[in-house]
Amino acid sequence: MTPGERLALAKTELDGNLSAVVKAQQEHTHMVYNDEGDIVYKGLTVPDMSLYPECKTYMFKTTDVQITEGGKSVAQFMIEEDEHDVCHIKLKTFESEKVKASRDFLSEITATSKDFDIQFSTTKKEWKITKSKALKVKQQLVFYVTPLRDPHILIERVVVNVEQFANSDTAKVKHKDTLPESYSVYTHKIFENYSIK
């Protein structure tokens, strides 16, 4: 049935009153959802269920689906059936892993303090990474050299293995490329105090 035919039929049923037809059509919202409750269709017209195999449909009062309006996507919501086969719209919740700042984020080294756990410095030909005498380094250290305050562009990745601190408190790594005059250094903050010289 075409939309025009549906309108003509609805007008006949409601004594030819167009405003009553519009009001009646907007009174209910149909939603189609799968076994997981994911909404795959939302509309004012009855859906063609042959397009949605293995899905269910439910007719809500349009006022009850207002939660899904206002620029929100129906993908943020799900349909949940209760024990009486009444459907309810619920906001989907997502569990996320705990974020560990030292592992998941980079911190820019900006301090120039002489009281440090790790100090990052450079000469014309090499990087010098110095640890405090009392500090025990138990894992690889990685530093990211970037243009000044721009962590999105990598100039050089400096890797310091634990073994490089075996006989000295300073590890040296040769430059791979010519450095710009000013740059920033970022790292995963494993220790408390980092310094740049």
Nearest partner of 186 among 140, 150, 161, judged by Cα: 150
pTM of structure: 0.50
Across the chain, mean pLDDT equals 87
Q: Are residues 80 and 143 in the same domain?
A: no
Bridge pairing between strands 107-108 and 170-174: unpaired
Give the per-residue pLDDT at 194.
Answer: 96
The reply to whether 134 falls in a domain is: yes
Backbone angles phi, psi at 195, to 5 degrees: -140, 150
Give the per-residue pLDDT at 161.
Answer: 93
Q: Are residues 76 and 106 in the same domain?
A: no
Q: State the total domains in the chain.
A: 2
Range of the domain at 107: 101-196
Q: Are residues 53 and 108 in the same domain?
A: no
Q: Are residues 37 and 105 in the same domain?
A: no
Last residue of a domain, one of 65, 91, 117: 91
The reply to whether 96 falls in a domain is: no
**Low-confidence residues of the chain: pLDDT under 70:** 1, 3-4, 6-7, 9-18, 20-21, 96-103
Give the per-residue pLDDT at 103.
Answer: 66
Residues 6+ apart with CB under 8 A from 119: 128, 129, 130, 131, 194, 195, 196, 197
